Amino acid sequence: MPRIYNYFVYILECADKSYYVGVTNDLEIRLAQHNNGENVLAYTFTRRPVILKYYLRFDQIEDAIDFEKQVKDGIERKKKHYLKKIGMKL
């Protein structure tokens, strides 16, 4: 019988209203790590507290990573579109 794993793609809203997208195999522990500031180099370290806004569970890590990339690419496209709209050169 194949073993089922849990992988999560999650989106956090930071205190500065920016967003962070990540992948984990333990959502509860990862959220605590972000809010406890365990990594001083992490994007969220100076933007705490963070709030979990969305998550999606996957059985396979490859599927979770692919979805994370899609989300991040979508966010980048929206940023670029907005910057062009306000006349900023990229």
Check residue 5 and report its DSSP letter: -
Question: Is 64 exposed, middle or buried (CB count within 10 Å of its CB: 0-12, 13-18, 19+)?
Answer: buried
User: Which pTM value belongs to this model?
Assistant: 0.84
Contact between residue 5 and residue 60 where contact means Cβ atoms under 8 Å apart: yes
Domain ranges for the chain? 7-85
User: From 1.25.10, 3.40.1440, 3.10.260, 1.10.10, which CATH number describes the 7-85 domain?
Assistant: 3.40.1440
Are 47 and 16 spatial neighbours (Cβ–Cβ below 8 Å)?
A: yes
| DSSP secondary structure letters along 16-36 | TS-EEEEEES-HHHHHHHHHH
pLDDT at 88 over 80: no
pLDDT winner (highest mean) among 35-39, 73-77, 79-83: 35-39
